[in-house]
Structure 1
Amino acid sequence: MNKFFQLPGRRTARALMAALTAGLVGLSGLMVTACGGGGVVPTTGVQARTLSPEFTSRKAVAYSPFRSDNRDTETITAAMIREDLALLKTGGFTLLRIFDSSDAVAKLLLQTIRDDKLDFKVMLGVYVASGNTTFSDAEVDRGIALAKAYPDIVLAVSVGNETMVSWSFNKIDPAQMKTYISRVRDAITQPVTTDDNWAFWAAAPNSILDVVDFAAVHTYALADSVFTPGSWDWQQTGVAANQRAAAMMSAALGKTRADFTAVRSYLDDKGFKNMPIVIGETGWKAVASGGETFRAHPVNQKMFVDGLASWMAGSTAKPTSIVYFEAFDEPWKGGDDKWGLFDVNRKARYVIQNLYPSSQWAAGSYTTADALYYVPATGNGTVTASRYSVYAEATTAGEARPTETPLWVGWNSPATAYAGEITSSSASTDAGHSLEITPSPESWGWGMIAALQTSAEDLSQFATAGNLNFSIRTTYPGSIEVGFLTGTVTEGSAYDVYMTLAPGQYGYQNDGAWHTVSIPISAITPHGAMAFGMTDPSKSKLDMSKVTNPFVIADRYAVTGKSANANVRVPLQVDAVYWSK
């Protein structure tokens, strides 16, 4: 598609991810032969259950069968599952991690494996939901029933997915998680765990460690390069350009190993030296969909997976097994899509093409030289074009586009809003695709930006005679805020430049139909103010030569007149965002 944008991933999303291998040699290298088994759990004296040799020797991959951009309305069939399993079997991926115990997916998958006598084993998921004990209790019951009904197929059970890490979008207290895990473990015979981010496992309380048989750890160097960019040096600017891709991928694997080591050291110090660690999710995107500019590419994906295989083949300090996230792309995930070993059309990506005939390959021919690496932005200079398009499918003669692909990301962490690309109605002024922005507000409201991560644009020529334009369709109640931002937080110069927009102003309506909004820049700039956290007015001031967020949409309740904790979550579809003069 031709939209000029990037979307942030939902790290659990950012529910989310899972992990394993690739390349014929690389994928084979990730088949671990060591057996799991935690020994006696120190505090309770409960005998830990040993992971089956079949769990530790099979190539593992996270699997979801969804193919559409709306999983809630998609019907999964046995024929779809059979097609997927045939592909995975050819590549030798015969241990599947799934994320829930639903009838629609989990039960159907297990029935298909048994009915067709397929050589697959499963790490069953039990998806528990924050604040919804009715759903969670029923899901626990379903998981127990499936583990009992398919003991020859279900090798292990994981209760919860990224529920306790600090940034979880489905946060559940460890005491409640202990209850869910214990209920499952007390009712079945398989080893039991919970899947969570490495940062949780590196500080996990004994209340959780005492009730699991192994640690299922998530580590995502790629996602961390977007959400916590200082956590490792992905840009590698100190390395020559012709060596930078290799240096970046080596550093990514170093970050992965460091995450594992942090968990291993913590468990050892807590007296759990025999507790196995499984990497429950890790991976690398083949296509940038959530701000991974200069990083996500089929060759980089293969470099990462091959590096995992080398780690598993040559090191004594390694996990018991690795589950690759994920088998197939899932468009419903929006900015968290494109991790797949296969694309959504079930075509094998470069990372595993040596396992399949060329008729089953995804489009594109690559060599190692095609790997992406960071190139510092040089900037456009002063934008002199009459149109500067931030997000638009149609191209306009003579227009300018941002120096780098904007990252659409919500304010704060966890984010207070999420953006996903959806198919647009023909009524849109830029029909084809649009962004659906879904608020996930805090007590004060929410915000979403189109951010330039490494550059700033000189849009000074739009200051006096320019307009900010966009199309919007929503039934969002009351007023919203729109505008842009100049300067940067790191330099102490960030300056908010946005105004309140009420229905009926500048073409905006919230009646559920598409409308075109056009606001003079000169009408927005008088509302500017120092950005949150800025303290020096000599730095934090309007600077149209340094626009770093060329579009902002938000709702701070105190500004728009809503009450605190209004919790408005009505989505807004946005399209054709551009500056004009």
Structure 2
Amino acid sequence: MKLKVNILCAIIISMIMSSCNQNPKSNKDMQKGKQMTAKEILGNPNYLAISYGGYREKSRDSQPTIKELKDDMKLLSVMGIKILRTYNVQLPHASNILKAITELKKEDSNFEMYVMLGAWIDCLNAWTDQPVDHNVESPNNAAEIERAVALANKYPDIVKVLAVGNEAMVKWAESYYVQPNVILKWVTHLQELKTQDKLPKDLWITSSDDFASWGGGEDQYHVEDLEKLIKAVDYISMHTYPYHNSHYNPEFWGVPEAEDSLADIDKIHAAIERAIQFSKRQYDSVTNYMKSIGVNKPIHIGETGWATVSKGFYGPNGSRATDEYKQGLYYKLMREWTNTAGISCFYFEAFNEQWKDAHHPNGSENHFGLFTIDGKAKYPIWDLVDDGVFDGLTRNGNPITKTYSGNKKALMKDVLVPPALDEIMANR
């Protein structure tokens, strides 16, 4: 009898120990199934963000297939990218991205990708031959918001942010900008849907716009409706582009007299360091304005980037800002700053897209990607190719290889030193 009791005790103890050993796995599985929120992923360096367009052709009439989108998602995922930003829901692109992510999650339970879903906002007669009216919104906006709401409700596990408009308030967007009251109207509408349980309560609402539109620039932007908008959004998504300002506001970019004696490579590094400081000042200007109206909420970077080809304002006959080496420096330093500071940076952009300036193949807008259209990794991510991160993955059927065939000496032949500051000032 005593032997039987001992055996029974041993069995019970074994079952208890087995149960205890299973607990970590169960907890891990529970964590895996946990629904992450915008609050948890934004500003989290383990959830890198990027702006994404999957278009391969010169027109958006040619939509990327689900397979092409899945190939892109896999490439971005192995880079540590877990949040994508899209721009509109007028075309099938954004909804197809959500379908592609859904399929990848079904194929691999560990696959994780979230979306900041953009709804495009226009003024009356935007993109037509009729005179635009910036004080009246396009009648198309209501349907765009309705489509965005439907997608957010259909894919609540993926869509974590809704952004009302892209650079829709900044005055230089002359083709389509609206007044802040239009953005405020739709942000308020979406926030009300959350209170009515018609949108997920943890879905964050914002608008993604130039730093100036968020009060960091000229006084003309400091209007009552902007104050109300800042109070209405869940966070501010601001854009900063020292690359463009190397032409429009170039004082920070020019090589000062004190650096004349530096080697060319050091002049380039110093200029990119100043570019990062330029973005930090723009970030601080938005922070200061926000706090001046009694608000304190997160500010993340909805867009910033550096092009690698330009025959225009930023190329050899302009600010000389454009090449892959400078893109690599800017990308590295921007990620270091934002990751350390707890700021999400939706770096612009993942892949080159040739539809943006279809009539000018060497236009800078076509060349902001970290990858070329055919899947070559540009200099900022050469190290990932070396590390084998992309092994077995393709874009357009091509394995991921380096631009310039990985020859840094060949790359550096296209790298120009920024102009001297006194040269810039003399030409203004």
Q: Which SS does the other structure have where 2:84 is aligned?
A: strand
Q: CA-to-partner distance for each residue in 1:453-509, whole Å, 9 max, x for gaps? A: 979xxxxxxxxxxxxxxxxxxxxxxxxxxxxxxxx985xxxxxxxxxxxxxxxxxxx
* 1:107 pairs with one of 95, 100, 116: 95
Match of 1:126 among 119, 123, 130: 119
1:236-291: CA deviation from partner (whole Å, max 9, x where unpaired): 45413512101111110110111011111111121112x10000001111222542
1:332 pairs with 2:355: yes
CA offsets 1:372-396 (integer angstroms, 9 cap, x no match): 312569xxxxxxxxxxxxxxxxxxx
Alignment-derived partner of residue 510 in structure 1? none
Q: Secondary structure at the match of 2:403?
A: coil
Once residues 70 and 238 of structure 1 are traced to their aligned partners in structure 2, the CA distance between those partners, rounded to angstroms, is 47
Letter in 2 for 1:251: R
Q: Identify which range, 351-360 or 87-96, moves more after superposition.
A: 351-360
* CA displacement at 1:196 relative to structure 2: 0.6
Q: Is the 8 A contact 1:62 1:96 kept in 2?
A: yes
- Partner in structure 2 of residue 95 of structure 1: 83
Q: Cα gap change, 1:369/1:111 in structure 2, threshold over 3 Å: closer, same or farther? A: closer
Deviation, 1:218, is: 0.1
In 1: Cα distance, 2:408 partner to 2:274 partner: 22
Deviations 1:302-352 (Å, cap 9, x if unpaired)? 1111111332355xxx46211100000111122312111111112211101
Aligned to 2:108: none
Does residue 140 in structure 1 map to residue 145 in structure 2? Answer: yes
Match of residue 192 from structure 1: 205
Q: Which amino acid aligns with 2:172?
A: W
CA contact (8 A) 1:197 1:219 kept: yes
Q: Report the AA paired with residue 84 of structure 2.
A: L
Identity %: 26
Task: Tell me how far apart the structure 2 counterparts of residues 320 and 259 of structure 1 sit (CA, whole Å).
Answer: 14
Counterpart for residue 373 of structure 1: 417
| AA matched with 2:55 | F
1:244 paired with 2:267, answer: yes
Are 1:283 and 2:293 matched, yes or no?
Answer: no
For 1:292, the aligned partner's letter is Y
Give the aligned partner of residue 348 of structure 1.
377
Asked if structure 1 preserves the Cα contact closer than 8 Å seen for 2:43 and 2:342, the reply is no
The one of 272, 280, 286 aligned to 1:263: 286
CA-to-partner distance for each residue in 1:52-97, whole Å, 9 max, x for gaps?
31333211000011111222x2132112111211211121212101
Q: Classify 1:185/1:346 alpha carbon distance in 2 versus 1 (closer, same or farther; 3 Å).
A: farther
CA contact (8 A) 2:254 2:424 kept: no
3-state DSSP class of the match of 1:280? strand
Distance 1:177 1:138, change over 3 A: same
Matched, 1:363 2:403: yes
Q: Does 1:177 align with 2:217?
A: no
Unmatched segments (≥5 aa) in structure 1: 1-49, 378-452, 456-487, 491-581
* Structure 1 residues 346-366: Cα deviation after superposition (integer angstroms, max 9, x where no partner): 221110122234851232122
Distance 2:187 2:178 in 1: 12
Q: Is the 2:378–2:402 contact (alpha carbons within 8 Å) kept by the matching residues of 1?
A: yes
Determine the structure 2 residue equivalent to 1:307: 333
Change over 3 Å in CA distance of 1:209–1:376 after alignment to 2: closer
How many Å separate the matches in 2 of 1:319 and 1:261? 14
Q: Distance in 2 between matches of 1:70 and 1:156?
A: 27
Q: Which amino acid aligns with 1:134?
A: P
Contact 1:286 1:297 in 2 (8 A): yes
Once the two structures are TM-superposed, the CA of residue 126 in structure 1 deviates from its matched residue by 0.6
In the TM superposition, residue 103 of structure 1 has moved relative to its aligned partner by 4.9
Give the TM-score, by structure 2 length.
Answer: 0.71
Number of residues of Structure 1 aligned to a counterpart in Structure 2: 328
Does the aligned pair in 2 maintain the 1:299–1:350 contact within 8 Å?
Answer: yes
Gaps in structure 2 of 5+ consecutive residues: 1-36, 106-110, 125-136, 194-198, 358-362, 391-398
Higher fraction of strand = 1
2: CA distance, partners of 1:61 / 1:90? 13
Report Cα offsets for 1:27-67 as digits up to 9, x if no partner: xxxxxxxxxxxxxxxxxxxxxxx833133321100001111
Describe the shift of the 1:241–1:331 C-alpha distance in structure 2 as closer, same or farther (beyond 3 A).
farther
Indicate conservation of the 8 Å contact 1:216/1:280, yes or no: yes
Q: Secondary structure at the match of 2:187?
A: helix
User: 1:56 is matched with which residue?
Assistant: 43
Say which structure is richer in helix. 2
Quick check: 1:162–1:195 contact (8 Å CA) kept in 2? yes
